Structure 1
Amino acid sequence: MKRMLFFAGVVLLSGCSKFLDRQPLSQISPDNGFNSESELQLYVHSFYDNMLPNPDGEEKGFTSLYGETSNNIVLTGLSPQLTGNRSVPVSGGGWDWTSLRNVNYFIQNYNRGGLDTSITYKYVAVAKFFRAYFYANMVAHFGDVPFYNKVIETNDTASLNKPRDSRTLVMDSVLNDLDFAIAHLGTGKDVAEVTKWTALALKSRVCLFEGTFRKYHTEFSLPDANGFLQKSADAAQTIMNAGVYTIYKSSPEIAYGNLFSSLTVIPEEVILARQYSAALQIYHNVNYYTTAPSFGKPGLEKSLVNSYLMKDGSRFTDIPGYTTMQFYQETQNRDPRLSQTIRTPGYKRIDGNVTLAPSYGGTVTGYQLTKFVTSAANDALLHSYNPLPVIRYAEVLLNYAEAKAELGTITQSDLDLSIKLLRDRVAMPGMDMAAANIAPDPYLANQYTHVSGINKGIILEIRRERRIELVMEGFVWNDIMRWKEGHLLAVQYKGAYFPGEGNYDLDGDGATDLMIYSGTQPSTPNVQFLKLGTDVVLENGASGGNIIVNGTIPKTFNEERDYLFPLPTTDLLLNPRLTQNYKW
């Protein structure tokens, strides 16, 4: 629980020009602070609590630890990002600079106590890690942003009113900060502390985003896409070669699910995590989120369910009639990660002995989430306390494979060192590069429209693997943005297939679990009821089809505008040298 104590001096404020000139409201000030290692440690602990992703939902479009939406998870409602109703905020909207100000304050003042660099540099390295983390997120969402590496004084008009710096300058600075962190952080493993390995993993993530963004977003004319991709692969390979981490394995039928439901961190794979505690009453909400209707009844989207391979490695979408398969049939003999991500036939709660079908009171698509879900004893509001990974080794392996594939340098050996380890966990066949490139999956090609060249097939397969392995971990929005596939956000979201009204045995045990009806509700006991047209909407009405979610709400994505977020109007007024993003 080292990282879950909030530092009293950090307050959450927004607006660049208004707040960059304020001193931290803390117990540590230029007059009395940073005289001991414990004071340095106290200050940097605030960065973990205030800058790492929050658990419950995608706040302002930034990542969450299980509450992602986009085209992976469907809810009863749609965010403005999915309906085309995004607007320029008056303030906020992610344009928040308080965290940066606190980081820069530390970097500028850490040496006031005269401590030796053998003590101070590891804390400076943590601060620079978080400055890189901050700016990588800001660039991903806003593009060009002002770069500040110092505390702004109230009379520093030039700094307070500086224009946006170029993306290239800011990202070069991000890499400099990460390289400092890598050089000065410890080499031990610690899921609660930033280490050399954490910094290398972040470098791999950041460089993969930037490299692919520059490659696919040619409209921005950004240089050196391949340079960033190579840095991503190199950072990942450094971790891989060190042998410090591995992919957690137990039984193929439970290993993937156990990684996320475990009440203690699994350090062989998890590099950095947010930790919680029942004893200290520090909770998150994942059980309630997945079982109660209050959070929009989340469920996997149909295209993601279709993307899971068969257990023998063949493509589900190559099977004749796959589009009209009902729930029981479509969940048989699939990649075991499907049954460890949603309720499938035979599902039982942890510590439970009752087989449960999907509850339509907890999912709008019929594909009810189980990833991260623990015992039913934790189902109450704010009662979950399993750790939530922020960075894990599986992502590092995926970053390595994707960066090499995008560079055009990937080999079968590279896949065997990376993707095969993820497949081995669930006893799935490895990825075959030659087969993938000879016959690229048309189902995936229809989604990822900008992929081309001799490695088209393997890039598509790596994207499949990434979407499945990292679902609910907060990556999907940034992945869609960097690949320039925003059109996926405008597709009608769908759920399970039903041929129409009738009785349905969802788990194949011979008993009716669900009745879709019209008119008066039947009185059959121990059955879920969905009134057609009211509780559930099917594509073709009484003639059946896939569940349609929010079918009356238009979904649009502006290709010229929506890959970047708008700057708030208040900040544009306070600093007339700032410019708004294109088309906003």
Structure 2
Amino acid sequence: MKFNYLLLICILLLSGCSDEFLDKEPLSDVTPENFFLKSSDLLLYTNGFYRMFPSTSIYDGDETADNIVATTLSEEMRGARTIPTTGGGWDWEYLRDINYFLENYEKCEDEAAKLHYSGVAYFFRAYFYFEKLKRFGEVPYYEGTIEADDLESLQAPRESRQFIANKILEDLDKAVSNLNEEVQAYRITKYSALALKSRVGLYEGTYEKYRGITGYEVYLNVAMEASLDLMEDSPYSVYSTGSIEADYMNLFNSHDAQIAEVILSRQFTQTVAVDHNVNYYTTTSSYGRPGMPKDLVNSYLMDDGSRFTDNAGYDELFFTEEVQGRDPRLAQTIRTPGYTRKGESMELVPNLGATMTGYQLTKYVTEPVYDTYDESIGDLPLLRFGEVLLNYAEAKAELGTLDQSDLDASIQLLRERVGMPALSLNDANSDPDPFLEDQYPTVEGTNKGVILEIRRERRIELYMENHRWNDIVRWKSGQTLTQPLRGLYFPGTGEYDMDSDGNVDVVLFEGDEPSGQMTGVQYIKIGSDIYFDEKNLINPQPDFNVRSFNEERDYLYPIPRVELQLNPNLTQNPGWE
């Protein structure tokens, strides 16, 4: 089934006529009179919408923000964005394709097909506008195709963000009503629409709440109700075989989406040369060198549920000590002592040449045979039940209606997968974590402690799933991105055993390279290959120790200059004038 669906999509994408058919102007011989008549026509046309989904860039939201530190910091992290002349995400081709379909699909004689594929189109129109809402805030809204001489429509003003959000939710309601109910990780279903509705409601509700906009509760209730629908009346659950040391890792390093939990996934296979580069990205020293930052490593709890950062001297523990006895998700996300590649038995220590922070990423990493550039084939999740559980808990916490039973029905299911103790509402609120308070100083109120804990859980559970930037934006927590980026602690020069097996794995030196080097040992030159701060923590980006985030500007992106010239009714986003 996986091959058949992907092959159909790839034929559409790779054929010579696909661009003409799906871009601005449909083929001259594809008209409402000779197309949109059969269910296969509707399937073929809507397959083009799937190109909207991210592929290799699924983890961009983590590298854009502070979850992944690579050789180059994003413009967002550096506070260095500029107004583009054109482009910049201000594109509308897909919207025309969708609206053209919605204007013509009813010519099909297959009632069941009309119902389902109209739901697919409504889903993608909602998805399209949600991407625009997150990036630009207020945008023009179009429900139909526009002719080249329709100047009034082409110069439409921006609608309010509440108007856009409500239209998104209207389309998702139509999608939920029309779409088929089925477990299908690679196609849009009713469950996909409910999961996206949960995400949209939480995003808009928290975005408005943390900016003091009245009426935000409506959206949080939408998130809560959509999440609850999936929790109570769907076939999805938290993927688990009972292996607390492997299930979280195996959810992501599987070649095929784990359909017990994954509601919607981007599909990859070498059969038709549709691949991505996660293995190459995380294992090579010549491409990005991504690493987890130390503040996130510090966020992982101890395996008994206590806070790692409550321990004296936690920032001066050597690697083998700091990763011992932690939330098992840490060892299933980065290389820790005992790590082996999928399908291999050799234990591997972190390759300091392949990670800027020393914490080498393993999430999504599969067998070494897929390590070549653009050869990875593991499916990448777009919507999964784990996120829905987190959305539910956060929406209820922000509404002030969360109780312990809600946590037990949501967060606890994720913790049980890895054998972690339950999150206690009373304990969290009576003793908020000072470490998290420093990261998110705008959180206030009686639910402050549990909201901070839910944010901890979200950052850990959804790591590398393209959420972090959007979370920072909706929480109005841009200053979090200006906090120090650091990596592993080393006392200084010398020989280091990174897995406590009695053998030297790393040698740090200054000056001339040591002679008589040992085979299989990493030799790292301080001040050249690696840099340290005054506390002997790896400083992965010494050129950007001082960064900025403009609270009045940087939560939205600028509208390109040419678009403002073409449409005099557009206004620039605040701070970008």
TM-score where L is the length of structure 1: 0.94
What secondary structure is seen at the aligned counterpart in 2 of 1:176?
helix
Q: Are residues 1:109 and 2:104 paired?
A: yes
Q: Deviations over 1:392-418 (max 9, x none)?
A: 100000000000000000010000000
Aligned equivalents of 1:296, 1:322: Cα separation in 2: 28
Aligned to 1:325: 317
What secondary structure is seen at the aligned counterpart in 2 of 1:41?
helix
Contact 1:286–1:373 (CA under 8 A) maintained in structure 2: yes
The runs of 5 or more residues in structure 2 that have no matched partner are none
Aligned mate of 1:546, from 519, 522, 537: 537
Whichever residue aligns with residue 556 of structure 1, its letter is S
What secondary structure is seen at the aligned counterpart in 2 of 1:494?
coil
Instruction: State the 1:360 CA deviation.
Output: 1.1
Aligned to 1:187: 181
Q: Deviations over 1:232-255 (max 9, x none)?
A: 000000010014111111200000
Q: Are residues 1:47 and 2:49 paired?
A: yes
Aligned mate of 2:95, from 82, 95, 100: 100
Aligned mate of 1:365, from 338, 353, 357: 357
Aligned mate of 2:336, from 322, 337, 344: 344
Q: Are residues 1:432 and 2:424 paired?
A: yes
Contact 1:291–1:361 (CA under 8 A) maintained in structure 2: no
Instruction: State the 1:69 CA deviation.
Output: 4.0
Q: Are residues 1:276 and 2:276 paired?
A: no
Instruction: State the 1:137 CA deviation.
Output: 1.2
Q: Deviations over 1:40-88 (max 9, x none)?
A: 100001111x211222366xxxx56xx6441111001112111111100
Whichever residue aligns with residue 78 of structure 1, its letter is L
Q: Deviations over 1:265-300 (max 9, x none)?
A: 211100001111122222111100000123310010
Aligned to 1:162: 156
Aligned equivalents of 2:192, 2:58: Cα separation in 1: 23
Aligned equivalents of 1:12, 1:466: Cα separation in 2: 41
Contact 1:56–1:286 (CA under 8 A) maintained in structure 2: no
Quickly say closer, same or farther: Cα 1:95–1:194, change in 2 above 3 A.
same
Aligned mate of 1:23, from 22, 25, 33: 25
Q: Are residues 1:198 and 2:189 paired?
A: no
Q: Deviations over 1:92-133 (max 9, x none)?
A: 11111111111111111212x352543312111100100001
Aligned residues: 564
Contact 1:182–1:197 (CA under 8 A) maintained in structure 2: yes
What secondary structure is seen at the aligned counterpart in 2 of 1:503?
strand
Instruction: State the 1:434 CA deviation.
Output: 0.5
Contact 1:416–1:430 (CA under 8 A) maintained in structure 2: yes
Aligned to 2:254: 262
Instruction: State the 1:214 CA deviation.
Output: 0.2
Contact 2:38–2:110 (CA under 8 A) maintained in structure 1: no
What secondary structure is seen at the aligned counterpart in 1 of 2:272?
coil
Aligned mate of 1:253, from 238, 245, 257: 245
Contact 1:440–1:457 (CA under 8 A) maintained in structure 2: yes
Aligned equivalents of 1:253, 1:69: Cα separation in 2: 29
Whichever residue aligns with residue 52 of structure 2, its letter is M
Whichever residue aligns with residue 168 of structure 1, its letter is Q
Aligned mate of 1:299, from 291, 302, 305: 291
**C-alpha RMSD over aligned residues:** 1.7
Instruction: State the 1:24 CA deviation.
Output: 3.1
Contact 2:20–2:26 (CA under 8 A) maintained in structure 1: no
Quickly say closer, same or farther: Cα 1:118–1:350, change in 2 above 3 A.
closer
Whichever residue aligns with residue 166 of structure 1, its letter is S
Structure 1 residues 420-569: aligned runs within 5 Å: 420-523=412-515, 524-525=517-518, 526-540=520-534, 545-553=536-544, 554-569=546-561
Aligned equivalents of 2:478, 2:33: Cα separation in 1: 50
Quickly say closer, same or farther: Cα 1:12–1:75, change in 2 above 3 A.
farther
Aligned equivalents of 1:26, 1:366: Cα separation in 2: 56
Structure 1 residues 116-155: aligned runs within 5 Å: 116-155=110-149
What secondary structure is seen at the aligned counterpart in 1 of 2:489?
strand
Range with greater deviation from structure 2 (530-539 or 207-216): 530-539
Aligned mate of 1:88, from 71, 75, 83: 83
Whichever residue aligns with residue 381 of structure 1, its letter is Y
Contact 2:488–2:537 (CA under 8 A) maintained in structure 1: yes
Q: Percent identity?
A: 48
Whichever residue aligns with residue 531 of structure 2, its letter is V
Whichever residue aligns with residue 571 of structure 1, its letter is E
Quickly say closer, same or farther: Cα 1:493–1:109, change in 2 above 3 A.
same
Contact 2:191–2:234 (CA under 8 A) maintained in structure 1: no
The runs of 5 or more residues in structure 1 that have no matched partner are 14-18
Aligned equivalents of 1:126, 1:57: Cα separation in 2: 21
Q: Are residues 1:374 and 2:375 paired?
A: no
TM-score where L is the length of structure 2: 0.95
Aligned equivalents of 2:318, 2:477: Cα separation in 1: 29
Aligned equivalents of 2:40, 2:570: Cα separation in 1: 39
Quickly say closer, same or farther: Cα 1:25–1:92, change in 2 above 3 A.
farther
Instruction: State the 1:517 CA deviation.
Output: 0.6
Aligned mate of 1:411, from 388, 399, 403: 403
Aligned to 1:233: 224
Quickly say closer, same or farther: Cα 1:275–1:386, change in 2 above 3 A.
same
